């Protein structure tokens, strides 16, 4: 276990021991915040079902509570704890791009905290392809938030140093997994009726999304 100059622990990604993961899980179960690498930027993880942890996250990021928080899952069972159902049109996208930088917008389960969904009745979810993010999810055993590690209005952190530069000692655990790609965020897809709606084009070009259905039609 490493420590930064402020006395908070900074955990190395390679290798990542079970002791490090267990420490992070204890922090998450206690309502704390963990910074970790993803396939896009560094993210901030809290328990998405803990309203107090979510409130702390919004305060840290100085984020408007009208903006929902994206989440990560590691399997379909975890997805079912967040989403009411899986639209059929999403199935080929999940098969093609999950795990990876594709966020899909689902109808949220009614028991989710209002802060998580910002009262939209929807929830944004992706299945991370980053090996550490998946380790953390498996250790925690439930979904995690994955909002970018930055104060609102500032650039999202691409490494552990940038996380600490923006937040100082305010993050409970910072996992150092090296530099992340950090060029753009995940592509976000929702639904408008029964049709796909591009909400944000990110790592995956929208043309590649549409190409999945073109292949299905031609097969």
pLDDT by 10s per residue, the chain, length 219? 332 333 344 444 455 788 989 999 999 999 999 999 999 999 999 999 999 999 999 999 999 999 999 999 999 889 999 999 999 999 999 999 999 999 999 999 999 999 999 999 999 999 999 999 999 999 999 999 999 999 999 999 999 999 999 999 999 999 999 999 988 999 999 999 989 999 999 999 999 999 998 887 776
Calculate the average pLDDT of the chain.
Answer: 91
Residue with tokens 């159902």: 85
DSSP for 8-42 reads: -EEEESSS--HHHHHHHHHHHHTT--EEEE-SSSE
For the chain, list the strands marked E by DSSP: 2-3, 9-12, 34-37, 42-45, 71-73, 102-107, 122-127, 144-145, 147-148, 173-176, 187-192, 195-200
Classify residue 181 as left (phi > 0), alpha (psi -120 to 50) or beta: alpha
Q: In terms of residues, how long is the chain?
A: 219
Q: For the whole model, what pTM was predicted?
A: 0.91
CATH superfamily of 2-218: DHBP synthase (3.90.870.10)
70 near 146, Cβ under 8 Å?
A: yes
CA dist., res. 162 & res. 65, Å (int): 24
pLDDT in tens, 41-75: 999 999 999 999 999 999 999 999 999 999 999 99
Q: Nearest to residue 28, comparing CAs of 56, 7, 5? A: 56
pLDDT recorded at residue 14:
55
Helix runs in 101-151, H state only: 114-117, 131-140
pLDDT in tens, 73-93: 999 889 999 999 999 999 999
Looking at the DSSP bridge assignments, the partners of residue 72 are 126, 144
The residue extents of the domains of the chain are 2-218
Return phi, psi of residue 41, to 5°: -125, 180
């Amino acid at each position: 276990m490493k420590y930064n100059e402020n006395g908070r622990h900074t955990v190395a990604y390679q290798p990542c021991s079970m002791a490090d993961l267990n420490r992070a899980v204890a922090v998450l179960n206690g309502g704390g915040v963990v910074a970790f690498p993803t396939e896009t930027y560094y993210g901030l993880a809290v328990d998405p079902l803990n309203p107090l942890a979510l409130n702390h996250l919004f305060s840290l990021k100085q984020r408007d509570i009208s903006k929902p928080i994206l989440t990560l899952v590691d399997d379909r069972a975890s997805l079912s704890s967040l989403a009411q159902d899986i639209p059929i049109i999403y199935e080929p996208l999940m098969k093609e791009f999950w795990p990876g930088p594709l966020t899909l917008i689902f109808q949220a389960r009614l028991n989710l905290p209002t802060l998580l969904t910002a009262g939209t009745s929807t929830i944004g979810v992706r299945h991370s392809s980053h090996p550490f993010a998946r380790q953390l999810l498996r250790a925690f055993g439930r979904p995690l938030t994955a909002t970018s590690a930055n104060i609102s209005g500032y650039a999202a952190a691409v490494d552990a140093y940038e996380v600490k530069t923006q937040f100082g000692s305010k993050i409970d655990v910072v996992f150092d997994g090296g530099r992340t790609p950090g060029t753009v965020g995940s592509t976000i897809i929702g639904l408008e009726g029964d049709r796909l709606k591009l909400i944000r084009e990110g790592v995956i070009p929208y043309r590649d999304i549409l190409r999945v259905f073109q292949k299905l039609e031609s097969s």
